[in-house]
Amino acid sequence: MLEGEGIGAASDAATLRAVAYELKQPLIRIARQTELDDASELPSIRQNAEDALRLIDSFLLTAQSEYGQQSLNLEPLQAGAVLYDVSQQLKRQTSVAIDSRVHEAVMTHRSALASILAVFGDIIGDLSSHVVLRSYKTRNGAVGIGVFGATKLTRADLRQAMELQGNAHAPLGKINTQSKIPLSIAEGLCRAIGGTMTIKHMGTLSGLATELPRSEQLSLV
């Protein structure tokens, strides 16, 4: 898990303002596009609306867990099923492949995991023309699930994107600093499902991943 601020700091007014700002952007784009009365803009309008709704849903899931209202109900789930769902969503924006190397189940929350991977997919999709949704096993027996591309991300890139959001004088990193709030939400969701958020390198690819405990319940079946 990354050190520093996560969505758990959202009780802070500045963080809530940042969340509101991120939610506002796709809605502004929708409003401007509808003024054009151009049917060719409909797919883009739909995509912007879906982006806004997904961010809101992800924030609500995180708030549900981190504000102590209710913990997320975890259940055994095959990683490949979620990888397929997210791949269909990302295919609208970029070229996608699935590489599921682990067939064991993990204890997770389906919607939360899908939201995490969607955030990862948006970020990696901005850096690479082709992304790979991949599951893998870690050295300690956990199951990693992430989104990878032909980009050499580092932990410093991730930290910079999360710490320097909104700073006009910040140096440009690989990750757009406007990704801070989605990344913070994703980090909060990783905590809520008992996982961590990490940068992972696999061969010539690198990307963002979450690593989760496997489900002994289904592993013994």
Question: Token pair 């981190």 is at which residue?
Answer: 66
Domain boundaries, the chain: 7-219
- The CA distance from 122 to 178, in Å, is 12
Q: Note the pLDDT of residue 85.
A: 84
Q: What is the pLDDT of residue 67?
A: 63
pLDDT higher at 131 or 166: 131
Name the percent of the chain in helix, strand, coil, to the closest 5. 50, 20, 30
DSSP E strand boundaries for the chain = 75-78, 95-100, 105-108, 130-137, 143-149, 196-202, 205-212
Residue 25 host element (H or E): helix 13-34
Rounded CA separation 107/178 (Å):
31
For residue 210, give Cα distances in angstroms to 10, 68, 116, 148, 155: 21, 22, 8, 12, 14
Q: What is the pLDDT of residues 45-61, one digit of tens each?
A: 777 677 777 777 777 77
Strand partners, 185: none
Collapsing DSSP to helix, strand or coil, 97 comes out as: strand
Q: pTM (2 decimals)?
A: 0.75
- Classify domain 7-219 by CATH architecture: 2-Layer Sandwich (3.30)
Confidence at residue 172, expressed as pLDDT on a 0 to 100 scale? 45
Q: Quick one: how many helices (H) and strands (E) in the chain?
A: 7, 7
pLDDT digits (tens, 9 = 90+) for 79-113: 888 888 888 878 767 788 988 878 778 889 988 99
- pLDDT at 209 (0 to 100): 95
Under DSSP, the state recorded for 103 is: -
